[in-house]
Structures are given as C-alpha cells and as structure tokens.
Structure 1
Amino acid sequence: MSVVKHFFDKFFHQSLRLQILIVVASLLLIPILIMFYDIFFASKSDQIMLLDHEGKLKTAVESKIVPGIKEDILKEVNDLDFNSLGPDQKAHILESAFNNAAGPLAADFPGVRFGLYILGSEQIFVQGFLHQYRPLSPDEVLEREKRIMNEADSGLIAVIASERPLARLTSSLRDETYEYLTPVFINNRLVAVVWADERLHPIFAQSRSFLSLTKYIALLVLFVGAAGALLVIHNLASSVSSVKIGLKEMEKDLTRLLPEIPGEAGEIAMAINKMAVSLAEKERLEYEMQRSERLASLGRLVTGVAHELRNPIGVVKASVQVMEKEYSQTPGMNEYITVIKEQIDRQNRVIQELLDFGRPSKEMIQPVNINSLMEKVLTFTLPMLTQSDIRLEVSFATDLPKILADPSRIKQVFVNLILNSIQAMPAGGDLFIKTHPGDDSIYAEFKDSGQGINPDDLPRIFDPFYTTKETGTGLGLSISHQIIRSHNGTIHVRSIPGEGTVFKVILPIFGEQGGVQNGTQNTDH
C-alpha cells in the first residue's frame, strides 16, 4: 500500500499536462497491445496452422499426384514422344493419368479438392469436393468447372509465369480455402498445372474476420485517441497560455480580467477574476479613504486661508465704498473704483468656493424628482447654451422614482457639468442630457461633442485645484464629486479626445421607508 500511495503522490505532483499524457497513453495502450497480439501471437498461430495445411496438400500433390501422372504417361507413350502429340491426345492422356492418380486420393481426403489445368486446351478436370455434395448433373458439372476455373485463374497464371509452386489462402463459395498449386513438366516442358485446395474450418474464417475487424478498430481507436490527446493537450496548453497572458496583463491593471475559458481552466480563470475584482475593490476603498483624509486636511487648511483672506477683502471693500461716496466728483475716480469692486467681487467668489469645498454647508435632504431639478437648471443655463451656439437635446424618462437629496446641492452639480460642457465647446456643438432609471438608481448623463479630455488628465479631473484651463480654480468638478459622494452616489466620466466627453451621475432611489437604498460607493473615475 505504501508503494501505491507513493506512486499516486508522485503522479499527482506532476504537471497537469504530463498527467493527461500519462492517462491518454494508458488508454492507448489497449489497442496497441491488441495490435501486438495480432502481430506476434494470433498471426503466428494462423501461420502454423496454414503451414500444416500446406504440408498436407504439398505431400498429396507432389508425392502422389504428379509422380502418378508421369508414371501413367510413361506407360502410355515414351515421354520423348509426348510433346510431339497433338493437343487432344495430350489432353486425353493427361486427363486419364490425373483421374487415376487423384481419384483414389479424393476418397481418402474428404474436404480436399484436386484439379488439373492443361496448357493450350484451356481445360480443367476436378476430383473431389470441398463439401459433401449430391451427384451432379452434366450441366451442373460444367457450371462447377467454370466456377472453379474462375477461382483458380489468378493462381494458375502466377504458377505458369513463374514455373514454381504456389501456396495461398483463397475463397470458394464464401468459404476460406487453402490452395497449393504446382507445375507439371514432361521432358522439361510445362504441360499442365496440378493443384489441391482444402476448405478451412469456419471458426478459422470467423477468427480471421474478427482479428481483422479488431485490428481495424484498434487502429481507429489509436488514431482517434491520439487525435483526442493532441486536441486535449492543445486546448489545455491554449487555456494555460491564455491564463498566463491574462495574469501578465492583470499585473499591470487589475481591471483587465481574464477571458472566458471553457472547462476547468475556465473555473480557475473565474476564481482569479473574482480575486482580482476583490483586490481592485480593496485598492479603491483604500484610495477613497486616503483621498478623504487628504481632502479633509486640505479642507481645514483652505477654510482657514479663506477666513484670513475674507477679512482684509472686507476692509478693502468698505474703503472702496467710502471712496465712492467722497470722491464721486473726482474725474476718472469712478473708473478705478469700478475695477477695484470687480476684482473684490471676483476674490469673494473664489473665497466662497474655497469655503464651500472646505466646509460644505448643511444639506437640506428631502425627496426630489431629478427631472424637476434638471428643468430648473436648464431655465437659467439655456441662454448661455444659445449664446455659445450649442444645440441642446434632452431625453427625460417619465415616472422616475424620487431620490433623497439636497436640491440646491444637486442643482450645483448639474450647473457645473453644463458649464464644463460649454467650456469644452468654444466653437459650438451638441449637448445631450438624458435621465433614466436603473435597478436601484437614477442616472443623469451629460454628453457633449467637445474637445474631449486627454487620457493623462482624465484620472485627476476630480482632484482639488487641478485644472487645464487658463482661468479657473479647479474646484468645480471636485466639489461636484464631493456632493455626489455625500449623497451615496457615484459620478463617472468617459472621454475620447476629439470626439467628446460623457459625465454620468448615479444617485440611489428614495426607499419606501423614507431612506436611501444601499447604493454603490464607487467613485472611481
């Protein structure tokens, strides 16, 4: 048992390809053994039996019939004068001599048939039967001789051509027979061919047929097995190769999952894909946590800086208001005061954006319809779209479920996204806004035909203060991302440079119990 256990332990520690090769080779061993048995054992036993038949027939023909024919010819004529006789005379003498020699043997050897073929006369004479026959009529005798002539024709031709004896396996009336043919020479001249054939036992014929069938089946099984083994190994190698290539790609990017693979390799690929998705989710959560920590720290810093900036700006604004009253009559003074007031207002807007980012206002959460919010936003953004030569197309799904959100904050997100689209299409273009329901969320999509976003910039567009525009604080998308995330929603972006950009906002549906259904927290863009 320990030896067997050791063997199986060693076997299962081999590579899967080698295991399959061993199993397939073991299965193919069966037809190979059958072929070896046929070659070295079954064929040998058949050969021994046929040699026994050959010896029996050879003894009867060459030791009794041929010498008997020659002896009778010597009694009839001098063999020096035999070849000078006419064809009919020769045929008559040979027929008589054959009947005298073969007739007694036919009675002593039941199941053996003797035949004589006379050259030049195209005649044959037969003694004995392969089967126990009833007496035949003259017509049946002629028909039988004609059939036997056809059966022996190829052997007679071979013996006449080679002038040598021939032993062969043949058939007669659907029976296997063994035949021995030998030439008859008179005065060194071929005058006839004598043969004897014996019917083999039916079991021998069945055995040969069975062995032949077995051999062909074994060859077929061997071929199919070899082809199947090659196919299995090829598929296995292809699956393993696909997994290896996929793993190399996955090392660079966990989102590149392995392709679908049939069989057990496919189950392995699915398990690897699940593990990769879990790792990607873990990395995303870690990234979100680190990002939240960074944003919180940055928010505190920004809030402090904004407060410090607001106080001196307030002093400057109050001083300008005093100057506007006291120096209103001074020529040219109003122009300078106007410029100062515009810059003060601009700085106040920047400070307010910083405060909104660093310390978001308290949200007024309530059930709202996203289509109503979108229509209100378009009411005051449509003039800007028209002025920028941008064609607007909307598709709002009807009967949308409500979401639980702060209307003003969500409208701020929509405004930011529309303004981004306007800035991306300075020469005009198309803006398509669409809302539709999902399984447990509401989708709002903003698709423009603008310049698109560079792939290098795409991962950073939601980072604070990151902007590719000459003017701007880089806080619009970051604040939008923060607002959607605070509503347990997600915001995604897809962009192709030169073709346009699609922003997709996903917000959870307002639940029946007055809460928000569990929505995805994925904010990976």
Structure 2
Amino acid sequence: MKLNTKLVIIMLSLLVLTMMTLFTLNQYSQNDLVNEIQESSQEISKAVQMSIEDLTSDAEFSRLNDYLHKARKKGINEINIINIEGEIVDSSDPDKIGKRHELNKLEKGVHAAPRHNGASILSQKPYEVVVPVIVGDEHLGYVQINMLLDNINNLQHANFMRRLFATGMVFMIGIALTIFLARRYTEPINSLVEDFKRVSAGDLSVTIPVDSKDEIGELAKGFNNMVEKLREREALEKRLYEAEHLSRVGQLASGIAHEIRNPLNYISLAIDHLKEEMLPHCAGAQRAEMEELADKIKEEVRRANYMVVNFMSYGRPLKLRHALVPYSDVLAKALPVLHDRLTEQRIRLEQRIPDDFPPLWVDQEMLRTCILNLVGNAVQAMPGGGLITLGAERDHDQVRLTFSDQGKGIRAEDLGKIFQPYFTTREVGIGLGLAITERIVREHGGSIQVDSTLGSGTTFTLLLPLERGPHEGNLETHEP
C-alpha cells in the first residue's frame, strides 16, 4: 500500500472516529440535559403547588422548610409566599416572614435576580420565578421562587469536558499513528542511507531485504538492482583486466615457448645421434640401461614439445584424436616418468581400478597430460612422503577418475582460482597445469571437481562421458 493511501486512510479514520465520538457524547449530554430540565421543572411545579396550598389554607405550620432541603439539590434556593398586600406570609427563610415586599417591583415570569451579598464570584447567576396565585376570580397573591441553575451548568460543563477529553484522545491516537508511521518509514530510510554510504565506500555485498510493497519496498528493490548491476560491472571490469593481463602474459609466454622448441628439437636429434653412435659400443646390461635412458629422454623431450605446442595454441580449440583405450594402458605409459620422483620422496602410489572397468573414448596423449599434471601436483604437495591413490569407477553413462593425495591441501579462498591460467601458489611453475587439465577435460565433454581439506589432502575427480556404440569392443590405440 502506498504512503499517500495510508495517510489518507489514517486521516479519514480519525475524522470518522472524531465525528462518531462527538455525536455519541452530544446525544448523551442532550439526554442528561433534558432529564435535568424535566426534574427541575417538576420541582418548580411542586413548589408552586405547595405554596398555593399554603396560601389558600388556614394551616399555621409551613412545609416549605422541609421541602427546601430536598429541592436544593435541584437548584431551588428559596421560596416566598406573598399575599395581595405585599406581605411575606410564608417563606423557606423564617427571618423573612412578616416582612413586606413592594408588589410593583415583582416581575412575573422568569428573570435574572441580583446576587446576594455573600455570594461567590464563581457562583452561577441566580434566577427568580414569580407566579401569581389566582383562585377563581380572586387574586390571592404571589409565589416567589429563587433558584440557581448550577446543576444544568455543571452538566453542560461536564459534557464539555467529556467532548474535550474525547477529542484529545482522538488526536492522541492520531499523533501515535503518525509517530508510528513516521518511524516505520524513517528507520528504513536511515538504514538505506547507511547502505548507500557502504556502497559508495566500495562494499557491494550490501543487500536490503524487501519487506513491503510501498515506496520503501520499491526503493529497496531499486537499490538492490543498482547494487547488482554494480557487481556485474565490477566483475566485468575484473574479467577485462584479467583478460588483458593474460593476453600480455600469454603473448610473452608464447614467444618464449616458441624459442624453447628449437633447443628441444636439437636435444631430440642429439639423442638419436648418441643412440646410433653409443649403443653399438655397449653390450649386455649396459646397452639395455643406455637404451632405456635414451628412450626416457626422448619421450620427455617429445612430451615437452607437445606441451609447448598446446601452450602456444592454448587460446585456440584443441584438436582431439579420440581412441578407445584401456585406462590401465594410459597409466602404464604416464606413471613410469614419475617413478624416480616418487621413489626419491618416499611416496607410494596405489591404483584401485576394477578389472571390468570399460575402455575410455579419449585422446590418449591429452589424458596422459592430465594424469601427469594431477599426479605431479600431488607429489609436490607431499615433500615428506605419503600415499597417492588413483581410483576409477563407472557411474551410469560416465566414468569417474579420482586422484587423492595426503598433502597439505588447498586453502578455501584458493579453490575458486586453481583452474585460472597462470595462477599458482608455488615459487616455481607458471600456473598452467590445472588450467590445461581443466580445458582438456571440458573439451572431452566432461568436468573436473576438487575436494580439499587443509592439512589432510586433496582429491581431484574427472568425470568423462562413456562412449557407446560401434567403437565399443574395437580397441584402437593412436600413437602421436
């Protein structure tokens, strides 16, 4: 509900409440006033009737004093009976009996009377009622009633105070509602101002909960949209900066890699030449040892050259040469290269591969690179020795290859960065191993997961699709 609508509803509610309260109090006061006037009129009639009876009778006793004790509650202050000669023959005030009153000064009907000398300034103005007493055609005298309308005035004053109190209560309710509404809107606005200050200071993690559908809710929603766009812009600027940085580093590294290929080619040719020149002069175990050593050097040179080619073409799509190969064959060609490092660091390597594990539809050389990168990282994470476990299992239409170590683990803040090119936490290395591995797995249509506990070890899991169809059962190996 909009703020304007709430204010209008509050004002209309207060108006209706005020009108209903005043109407109710007015009806109540009118009823009280009518009742009071009726009772006063009845008392005046009773006093006149009693006075006429006293005036026309020969009784020597007066009932006015007894009656006046009751009549004072209704405002009757004094009753005088005056005969035709102007003598007060009976009165509620015994001191006035026998005194004379000037008849020409008597004003028939109801009129204001002068205050008594001892009357208080705050007391109500007295009124005098003069009624002639006529029996048949004979005028016997007058009945003079002195009365105060204090009861009616008190009643009117009480009704006025009730209306004033009711109006004050209605306005107090209105003020309370206004204060509540003001706090209801000022507190979120103050909070919003503080959030704006935080955002202007660079904190884009601020999010305001949208708890209402009024202007404050729309303002909070607009604020959240603004912060979200700022986050997107910041992420885009960060990606652009990283892309520019990677582009510059990549250009430099590509030039260096291009220069590395020349000495690699020379080393490869030199190994071939040494094999031709040295092996004929060796015999027995020495010949076998020299031939094995030369083959390992040749294989490492070839692998290094292959990595340089992939490194130079990192920004271009990979050209995969798929073949259906057993996973054990890929491991048999990859792991011997790391045998000396594993032995030197007292690291045991355990393979947990089922006998019925299906062959993989992969680029054998690419997968070999992934294995060497992952096992090589595990070796570097365990300088004091330990156990590396290679696992494999089939999971419906995909295979799950795991590489677990007992190394120092990866910090939580670094887990999201380890697959970024050129990111490394080691003093040596260029930070492309895991980036190339992740890209190779992605190009195969799979994914890579990592689970690491600081101080306990790390497990990398490769999820690769399992090819089915005409290739299954026809094992074919591609030698690069």
Q: TM-score w.r.t. structure 1 length? A: 0.45
Q: Which has the larger radius of gyration?
A: 2
Give the structure-2-normalised TM-score: 0.48
